[in-house]
Structure 1
Amino acid sequence: MTPPSSARCPALLVAAPASGQGKTTVTAALARLHARRGLQVRVFKCGPDFLDPHWHQLASGAPVHQLDLWMTGEADCARRLHAAAQEADLILIEGVMGLFDGDPSAADLAQRFGVPVLAVVDASAMAGTFGALAFGLRHYRPGLPWAGVLANRVGSARHADMLQAGLREPQDWLGALMRVTLKADVGVDVGAARAAGALLPERHLGLVAAHELLDSQQRLDAAADALAATPLGQMTAQDLQRWAVDFPAPAHTAAVPALLAGRTVAVARDAAFCLPHCDAVWLPGGYPELHTAQIVANTGMQASLCAHVAAGKALWAECGGMMALFESITLADGSTAPLWGLLPGQVTMQKRLAALGPQQLAVAGHTLRGHTFHYSTCDSSATVVARTARPGEVPAPDAGEALYQQGSIHASYFHAWFPSSPEAVAHLMGGVPL
C-alpha cells in the first residue's frame, strides 16, 4: 500500500552506454507521443544542460527542470520529483553521458529514487554485440532498477531481428527505432550544425535549440510517429504502470532569506537584448560567437551597460555573457570581430572542448555549486579574485575557472546554480555586503 506521504507515478530514466546514442530524441519522442494521447508528461534532465530541455518542454508542454544529486542536491531532486508525481501520468528523466559516467551518475539518480532505466543503444553498426551491451548495462551494478533496452538507428527489419536475437533476456526488448531524418532544415541557419538532416540537429555546444527551428514540432512528431511503431511506443497508460514509482514527500526545509528584496535584477535572455532600469544585471550563457555582428551593432545596449557599471551597479556575467563583454573574439575560421569592450582582453574559439564538468566557487565566504562547459578560451588583464575547483577539492592558482572582477563587474566561465548559495548570489548581484 502506498504511504500517504508518497506520490505514485510511472517513471523512466532514459540512459545510454555513451553520449550521442539518441537519448534526447527518444526522451522527446516519448514525451510527445504520450502528450498527444492526452497524458500529462513531466520531463527532467539529469545534469546541467539548458539545450535539451527546450526540446523536452516543446514535446511535453510542461516546464523542464534539472536533477543533479551534487549540484542541485538530493533534497531538491526529491521535491521536484514528488511535485511532478502528484500531477503527472508519466515522468521521464533524460540521463547524461553514459549511464555510469560521472560522480554522481545517472545510475546513482536511478537507484536513489528507484526509477527504472530505459537504455537507448545506437545499434547502427552492430548486431550480436547489442545483446552484450544490454546485458552489461543491466547487470554491471547490482540492484539497478531496469525497464529494458531500445535499439536506435536501426537499418531494417532484418537488422532489428538480429539485434533482438542477441539479447540474453528477451523481456528486455522494447523495440527498434528506425533511422528517421528530414531532408532539410526549414527557414533557419543553424551555422555549423552537424548532421543537418538529423531530427534534432547539433552544433558545437550541443543541440540546436528548439525555438531556432521553424519546423521543431514537425520534427518531434516524426520522432513520435517512429517510436509509435515499437513495443515501447505501443504501451498504453495502463501498461506504463509496471514502471510506477513511489516518490516520498520531501522533508521540510527552512525558508530562503529575502537577500535581494526591493532590488531589480535584469536578465538578458533574448536575441535582441534590452536593459530596463535595474539595480543589477545578469548576463547568462549563450552564443556570442554566432551573433558578433548583432552584438557590436547594439550600441544602445553597450552604452547602457557602460553607464550601469560606471554607476557602480553590479553586473554578473557567466560564460557566453562574459565573452560578450571582452574587446574582441577570434572565431573558428580565424577571423576577428569586435565585442562590447567592458572587460579588457580577447576570446578565442577553438574546435576542441576547453572545459567540462562540475565546479564550485567560493564567494564572500559562501560556496556556489555549478558547472563549466565551453569551447573558447580568454586572455584578460582583469583581476582574478577567485578560482573554481572540482567538488571536494581546493582551488589551485592555475586551475579551474577564473572569477574576474573589474569595478562592479564579476565574470567567469562558471555557470552558477543560484539556489546552492543565495548569500553568494546576493553578493554578486550587489546586495547588502556580507
Structure 2
Amino acid sequence: MVNPVRVLLVAACASGQGKTTVTAALARRLTRSGQRVRVFKTGPDFLDPLTLARASGAAVDTLDLWMVGEDECRRRLAKAAEQAEVILIEAVMGLYDGAPSSADLARRFGLPVLAVLDARAMAQTAGAVALGLRDYGPVQLAGVLANRVGSASHAAMVAESLRDIPLLGHLPAQAASLPERHLGLVSPDELADFDARLDALADSLVLDDAALAALPLVQFAPPAPQPQPRWLAGCRVAVARDAAFAFIYPANLDCLRALGAEVLEFSPLANQPLPAQANALYLPGGYPELHAATLSQAQCWQASVRAAHAAGLPIWAECGGMMALADAIETADGQQWSMAGLLPGIARMQTRLAGLGSQAWGTLRGHTFHYSQLALAPQACAHTVALRSGQPGEAVYRVGSLQASYFHAYFPSCPRSAAALFCQEPPAC
C-alpha cells in the first residue's frame, strides 16, 4: 500500500456545469499554495487534459474502467499517490452517465465526490440536486462547490439548502470564461492570457480550507507489475505533434516507449519532413481543419509522407491525422484544401456531430468524436464495434502500408495490437 492521499472526484449532474473550470481553478489554487497536485480526467478526452495540465503543472492521464481497465487505473492512482498530496479527478458528463460511469469509478476506488452545481438559476433547489446525486448511486459525497454564484447571500442560500452536505466552496460568475469551439475547450497554447485566466479563476475561488483539509484520505494498493515485451525494439516512430495534431493520450507515447520504440516528434504545420531515421509514422488527431490552408502549402511534409508510404513504412492515422492524408479537407465555408492524397476521399466539415462514443477495434479500445465525414472514401477493410450498442462503428481503411480511421486508439488497452500498427512484421501471438 502507498501512503494515503487526499482525493476528490469533481463531478456534476450534466455537462456544462463547469467541472473543468472548477477543477482547473482548484488545481491552480492548490499548486500555488505549495501542494503537490496530480490531476486525472475520466473518460476519453484530449482537450480538458491540456487545460488541467497547464493548471497543475503536470501531465494529465485518463481514468476509464472500460478503456483503461481497472488494474491500470489503480496502478496510475497509486503512482500519483506516491508523488502528490492531492489528487483531483475530473468526471465526464453527468455523474451517472455512461456505462461504466464516473460514479462507478468513484465506488470502485472509494473516491470522495465533489459535486459542482451551476447555481446561477437556482437557490434552495441546489439541495435537492445534491441529495439526488449522493443517494441515487449512492456515492460518498464529500461536499458541493457552487459555480456561477451571484453573491455571498446567494452562496449562503445554497449552503442552507444542503442539509447535512457541506458547501466546500463557491466560484462567482466570471466575466471571462475558458473559450470553447466545436470539439471542446480552446487549447491553452492558443491564448496568450491563458495562465492569467487560470490565476483569476483561482483567486476568485472561495474555499472552506478547513473542510477540505479534513477530508478523509484514500489509499491505493497497486497491482503487481506485469512485464512488457519489447515488441517495438529498434523501431523509430515519427509522431506528428503541433497545434493541428495535438489529440494524443500521453499514455500512448508511454506505451510506445515501453514497447521499446524511440519516439521522434515533428511538426507538419512547420513543414517539417518525417525524421530521416523514422521507420514508422503515427498521425494522431487534432484540428487540421483549422490549419488546412497551412497544411495544404506544406509541400515538404506532404512529399515526405508520400515517400514514406511508397517505401512501405507502417502508418497509423486517426481522425484528424487521417483527414490530413485524404485528397482534401473541405472546411465549413465550402472551400477545399489539398492534402497529402494517400487516402482517397474528401474530409468534409459539418455543423452536426458525426461520431461519438467508446468503441473497440478487435482488442484495441478507444473512442470516436468528430464533426467531419469522409466522402468518396474507399471500401473499409474493417469496422470498429460500438461499446453500448454492439453495432458496427467507424470504418478502418487500408491503402498499402497505411491504416486510417476516425477511431482514436488507446494503446495501453492492448500493447500487442498497438505494436502491430507500427511493425512490418507484427508480433506473434
Question: 2:409 maps to what in 1?
Answer: 416
Counterpart residue type for residue 235 of structure 2: R
Tell me, yes or no, if structure 1 residue 285 matches structure 2 residue 281.
no
Q: State how far apart, in whole Å, the 2-side matches of 1:404 and 1:243 are.
A: 50
CA RMSD of aligned residues (A): 1.6
Per mean C-alpha deviation after superposition, the further-off stretch among 251-260 and 279-288 is: 251-260
User: Residue 169 of structure 2: SS of its match in structure 1?
Assistant: strand
Tell me, yes or no, if structure 1 residue 432 matches structure 2 residue 425.
yes
1:85 aligned to which of 81, 98, 116: 81
Q: State how far apart, in whole Å, the 2-side matches of 1:381 and 1:176 are.
A: 50
Q: State how far apart, in whole Å, the 2-side matches of 1:411 and 1:284 are.
A: 10
Tell me, yes or no, if structure 1 residue 303 matches structure 2 residue 303.
yes
Counterpart residue type for residue 146 of structure 1: L
1:230 aligned to which of 183, 207, 216: 207
Question: 2:313 maps to what in 1?
Answer: 313
In structure 2, do the counterparts of structure 1 residues 431 and 79 end up closer, same or farther at CA, with 3 Å as the change threshold? farther
Per mean C-alpha deviation after superposition, the further-off stretch among 99-108 and 51-60 is: 51-60
TM-score when scaled to structure 1? 0.88
How do residues 108-257 of structure 1 correspond to structure 2 at under 5 angstroms?
A: 108-142=104-138, 144-169=139-164, 171-182=165-176, 198=177, 200-227=178-205, 229-231=206-208, 234-235=209-210, 239-248=212-221, 250-257=222-229
In structure 2, do the counterparts of structure 1 residues 311 and 284 end up closer, same or farther at CA, with 3 Å as the change threshold? same
Q: State how far apart, in whole Å, the 2-side matches of 1:352 and 1:172 are.
A: 40
Tell me, yes or no, if structure 1 residue 354 matches structure 2 residue 354.
yes
Q: State how far apart, in whole Å, the 2-side matches of 1:154 and 1:262 are.
A: 56
What is the Cα deviation at residue 348 of structure 1? Answer: 1.3
Q: State how far apart, in whole Å, the 1-side matches of 2:168 and 2:224 are.
A: 39
Q: State how far apart, in whole Å, the 1-side matches of 2:422 and 2:285 are.
A: 16
Counterpart residue type for residue 246 of structure 1: Q
What is the Cα deviation at residue 159 of structure 1? Answer: 2.4
In structure 2, do the counterparts of structure 1 residues 369 and 432 end up closer, same or farther at CA, with 3 Å as the change threshold? same
Question: 2:254 maps to what in 1?
Answer: none
TM-score when scaled to structure 2? 0.89
Q: State how far apart, in whole Å, the 2-side matches of 1:129 and 1:168 are.
A: 12
Q: State how far apart, in whole Å, the 1-side matches of 2:234 and 2:291 are.
A: 34
User: Residue 221 of structure 1: SS of its match in structure 2?
Assistant: helix
User: Residue 25 of structure 1: SS of its match in structure 2?
Assistant: helix
What is the Cα deviation at residue 156 of structure 1? Answer: 2.1
User: Residue 291 of structure 1: SS of its match in structure 2?
Assistant: helix
Counterpart residue type for residue 25 of structure 2: A
What is the Cα deviation at residue 359 of structure 1? Answer: 0.4
What is the Cα deviation at residue 254 of structure 1? Answer: 2.6
**8 Å contact from structure 1 (residues 327, 338) kept in 2:** yes
User: Residue 92 of structure 1: SS of its match in structure 2?
Assistant: strand
Q: State how far apart, in whole Å, the 2-side matches of 1:253 and 1:165 are.
A: 48
What is the Cα deviation at residue 392 of structure 1? Answer: 7.7
* Stretches of structure 1 lacking an aligned partner (at least 5 in a row): 183-197
* Stretches of structure 2 lacking an aligned partner (at least 5 in a row): 244-266
1:47 aligned to which of 33, 37, 43: 43
Question: 1:382 maps to what in 2?
Answer: 378
Question: 1:407 maps to what in 2?
Answer: 400
Q: State how far apart, in whole Å, the 1-side matches of 2:191 and 2:424 are.
A: 39
In structure 2, do the counterparts of structure 1 residues 42 and 408 end up closer, same or farther at CA, with 3 Å as the change threshold? same
Question: 2:275 maps to what in 1?
Answer: 276
Q: State how far apart, in whole Å, the 2-side matches of 1:83 and 1:426 are.
A: 25
User: Residue 70 of structure 1: SS of its match in structure 2?
Assistant: coil
Counterpart residue type for residue 170 of structure 2: A
Tell me, yes or no, if structure 1 residue 339 matches structure 2 residue 339.
yes
**8 Å contact from structure 2 (residues 305, 340) kept in 1:** no
What is the Cα deviation at residue 393 of structure 1? Answer: 6.4
Q: Deviations over 1:197-232 (max 9, x none)?
A: x1x1111000011122111111111111111x332x
Q: State how far apart, in whole Å, the 1-side matches of 2:424 and 2:204 are.
A: 52
Tell me, yes or no, if structure 1 residue 106 matches structure 2 residue 84.
no
How do residues 43-82 of structure 1 correspond to structure 2 at under 5 angstroms?
A: 43-82=39-78
Tell me, yes or no, if structure 1 residue 36 matches structure 2 residue 32.
yes
Q: State how far apart, in whole Å, the 2-side matches of 1:389 and 1:380 are.
A: 22
**8 Å contact from structure 1 (residues 344, 380) kept in 2:** yes
**% identity of equivalent residues:** 55
What is the Cα deviation at residue 20 of structure 1? Answer: 0.9
User: Residue 87 of structure 2: SS of its match in structure 1?
Assistant: strand
What is the Cα deviation at residue 124 of structure 1? Answer: 1.1
Tell me, yes or no, if structure 1 residue 96 matches structure 2 residue 92.
yes
In structure 2, do the counterparts of structure 1 residues 27 and 235 end up closer, same or farther at CA, with 3 Å as the change threshold? farther
Q: Deviations over 1:341-390 (max 9, x none)?
A: 1211111111121111110002xxxx101111111111244241110002
Q: Deviations over 1:222-278 (max 9, x none)?
A: 111111x332xx348xx5242311111x22243121111111100001244231021
Counterpart residue type for residue 175 of structure 1: G
Q: State how far apart, in whole Å, the 1-side matches of 2:295 and 2:210 are.
A: 48
Tell me, yes or no, if structure 1 residue 260 matches structure 2 residue 232.
yes
Q: State how far apart, in whole Å, the 2-side matches of 1:6 and 1:35 are.
A: 22
What is the Cα deviation at residue 339 of structure 1? Answer: 2.1
Q: State how far apart, in whole Å, the 1-side matches of 2:343 and 2:387 are.
A: 29
**8 Å contact from structure 2 (residues 142, 215) kept in 1:** no
What is the Cα deviation at residue 13 of structure 1? Answer: 0.2
Question: 2:253 maps to what in 1?
Answer: none
